[in-house]
């Protein structure tokens, strides 16, 4: 009999992948391992319709982000694998989310990113890292740094290596490069320049339009001539987020410089890791690509004319990042050309010792088996049902005891929503939001006023979108007229208190008897506190049901303590311990 999945049933043999850009990065490396070595089914969530068509032509199961088939697959998958934290908002309790971050952070990211960090960013990080189960890293150092950057439990960071680095060991990069470019490079040495992402930084980006290295002495023709003299070819690949910033026609006129447009990778469904071992030397600035390139034990040049500006704008994980850079640092074109001469004309590799030393910090493993290690770790966690569930926020238990000093800090942010509906019903485009805070053991007074359209016929007030709130002495007015007729959804009423335990609580008003020829003014007023920390004086006002439950609980606890004091209990307990 054929087994059909129910709409909400987990398929234990399904893995859904996502990456940015599409079909790339660590997600791609792990996917190639899965399809070649396991019996798992896979499905890709993609953003680009062109990539979708290419993948479909190759019979790779995929769907556009947000489509019904993609949403269904995300709902059913046992494992959600992303190169970001994309699936964190969709993950169910039964699912496993692997967030294989796209690089080792030499520059600050996450909670330490002072270039883009704000309160909302931090709030989002708290959500997504709580919903993530596994973060693969390359070393113990990476485990400490990554867990700190994302403020997540270090038990979630597994030292397996990056799956994308497996592609370095299992592909003939030069053959693939020559195939997609349509050129043969013979005995020429190939250099790769990959600067980090500059998009969005306060002072970075514009200078890269015509000056790809941002050098004060930049002379493109002089650079091209030096490359020709040394029989070198320089391949330039910028970050995919920086597409469109560079004056690419300028470089197309030169015979020793090749611009690797990001569309070249998507058109051929490959990643930089499929061709990384084609290059004899890497030039970068602060991109994490150098950590991956270390596995090849080849020269690395750090082109950093703006190190001080970058440090003050974005920031690094160390006060002096030079100690973490396994290669020579240049700050202008003359230094770069002199160093290329030193390496390729004189055959000197002065940084080989430094690379060997720093490699032990960045990598525990130097092979092509990272995906296999990650798969084994995840399989073990699944079989043992041993994933650390940090999302329960166990620290909140510290606040349960009123006498415990930390209870005073148990503030909770609430988001109230008011929908004003017309004949079409309640729409997301017709709502207001207002933030407020509730505290343990303390009632806070709130008053909110909202002005709605004249065609409003019903109103829905959600006191807190996640629930867990008590409203006392709730009152409402419609156009200065007190209005007490309302319907409670996901809530209950006891005396003068409204209790909302579950998510999506609602108080619905019907305005059938209200004159709405003019704009409607809705006012709500109430005292509120957290349901997680109900004080005794509030509990007393919740009605006889709560008092009865509290009394029964007290009697049962007294009876249990009496049993524990009995001889038979002590003898039984002693026997069990033995």
Domain 171-363 maps to which CATH number in 3.90.550.10, 3.40.50.12580, 3.10.20.30, 3.20.20.190? Answer: 3.40.50.12580
Return averaged pLDDT per consecutive 10 residues of the chain, 578 residues in all: 50 95 96 98 96 97 95 94 83 86 74 60 67 91 87 89 98 98 96 82 55 90 96 91 64 86 92 98 94 97 88 78 93 97 95 96 96 95 62 40 48 87 83 87 88 87 89 90 85 85 85 67 91 52 50 63 63 53
Closest CA to 82 of 91, 71, 94, 92: 91
Distance in angstroms (rounded) separating the CA atoms of residues 505 and 517: 29
pLDDT score at 296: 98
Residue 544 tokens read as 């006889």
Specify whether the CB–CB gap between 250 and 273 falls below 8 A. Answer: no
CB within 8 Å of 440: residues ≥ 6 apart: 399, 402, 407, 410, 529, 530, 532, 533, 535
pLDDT score at 92: 80
pLDDT score at 403: 45
Specify whether the CB–CB gap between 469 and 505 falls below 8 A. Answer: yes
Intrachain domains 11-165 and 171-363 with the same fold: yes
Specify whether the CB–CB gap between 545 and 499 falls below 8 A. Answer: no
Per-residue b/e over 432-452, b at no fewer than 16 CB within 10 Å? Answer: beeebebbbbbbeebebebeb
Please state which architecture CATH assigns to domain 11-165: 3-Layer(aba) Sandwich (3.40)
CA neighbours within 13 Å on the CB side: how many for 215? 18
What residue ranges do the domains of the chain occupy? 11-165, 171-363, 405-541, 544-577
pLDDT score at 544: 45
- Which pTM was predicted? 0.68
Residue 181 tokens read as 């470019």
Range list of β-strands (E), 285-411: 300-303, 328-330
> What is the torsion angle, in degrees rounded to the nearest 10, for the CA atoms of residue 337, residue 342, residue 348 and residue 353?
-50
């Amino acid at each position: 009999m054929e087994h059909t999945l129910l709409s909400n049933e987990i398929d234990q043999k399904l893995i859904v992948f996502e990456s940015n850009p599409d079909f790339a990065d660590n997600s791609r490396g792990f996917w190639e391992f899965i399809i070649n070595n396991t019996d798992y089914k896979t499905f890709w969530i993609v953003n680009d319709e062109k990539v979708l068509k290419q993948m479909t032509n190759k019979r790779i199961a995929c769907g556009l982000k947000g489509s019904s088939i993609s949403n269904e697959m995300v709902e059913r998958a046992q494992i959600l694998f992303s190169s970001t934290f994309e699936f964190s908002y969709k993950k169910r309790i039964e699912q496993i989310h692997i967030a294989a971050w796209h690089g080792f952070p030499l520059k600050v990211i996450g909670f330490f990113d002072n270039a883009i960090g704000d309160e909302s960013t931090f709030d989002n990080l708290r959500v997504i890292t709580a919903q993530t189960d596994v973060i693969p890293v390359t070393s113990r150092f990476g485990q400490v740094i990554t867990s700190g950057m994302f403020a997540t439990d270090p038990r979630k960071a597994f030292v397996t290596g990056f799956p994308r680095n497996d592609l370095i060991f299992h592909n003939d990069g030069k053959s693939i490069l020559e195939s997609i470019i349509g050129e043969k490079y013979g005995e020429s040495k190939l250099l790769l320049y990959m600067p980090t992402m500059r998009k969005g930084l306060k002072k970075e980006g514009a200078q890269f339009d015509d000056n790809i290295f941002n050098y004060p002495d930049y002379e493109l023709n002089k650079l091209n001539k030096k490359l020709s003299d040394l029989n070198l070819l320089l391949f330039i690949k910028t970050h995919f987020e920086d597409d469109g910033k560079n004056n690419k026609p300028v470089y197309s006129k030169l015979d020793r410089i090749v611009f690797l447009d990001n569309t070249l990778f998507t058109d051929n469904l490959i990643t930089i890791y499929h061709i990384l071992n084609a290059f004899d030397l890497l030039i970068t600035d602060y991109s994490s690509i150098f950590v991956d390139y270390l596995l090849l034990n080849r020269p690395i040049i750090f082109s950093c004319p703006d190190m001080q500006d970058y440090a003050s704008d974005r920031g690094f994980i160390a006060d002096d990042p030079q100690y973490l850079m396994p290669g020579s640092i240049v700050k202008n074109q003359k230094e770069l050309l002199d160093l290329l001469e030193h390496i390729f004309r004189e055959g000197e590799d002065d940084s080989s010792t430094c690379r060997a030393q720093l490699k032990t910090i960045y990598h525990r493993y130097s092979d092509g088996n990272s995906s296999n290690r990650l798969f084994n770790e995840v399989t073990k966690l699944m079989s043992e049902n041993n994933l650390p569930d940090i999302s329960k926020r166990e620290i909140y238990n510290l606040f349960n005891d009123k006498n415990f000093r930390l209870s005073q800090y148990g503030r909770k942010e609430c988001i109230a929503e008011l929908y004003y509906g017309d004949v079409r019903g309640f729409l997301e485009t017709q709502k207001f939001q207002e933030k407020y805070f509730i505290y343990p053991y303390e009632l806070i007074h709130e008053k909110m006023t909202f002005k709605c359209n004249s065609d409003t016929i019903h109103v829905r007030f959600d006191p807190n979108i996640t629930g867990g709130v008590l409203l006392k002495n709730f009152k409402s007015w419609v156009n200065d007229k007190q209005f007490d007729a309302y319907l409670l959804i996901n809530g209950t009423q006891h005396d003068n208190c409204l209790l909302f335990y579950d998510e999506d609580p609602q108080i619905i008003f019907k305005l059938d008897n209200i004159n709405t020829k003019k704009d409607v003014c809705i006012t709500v007023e109430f005292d509120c506190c957290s349901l997680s920390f109900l004080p005794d004086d509030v509990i007393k006002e919740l009605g006889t049901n709560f008092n009865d439950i509290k009394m029964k609980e007290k009697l049962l606890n007294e009876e249990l303590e009496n049993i524990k004091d009995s001889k038979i209990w002590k003898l039984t307990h002693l026997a069990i311990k033995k």
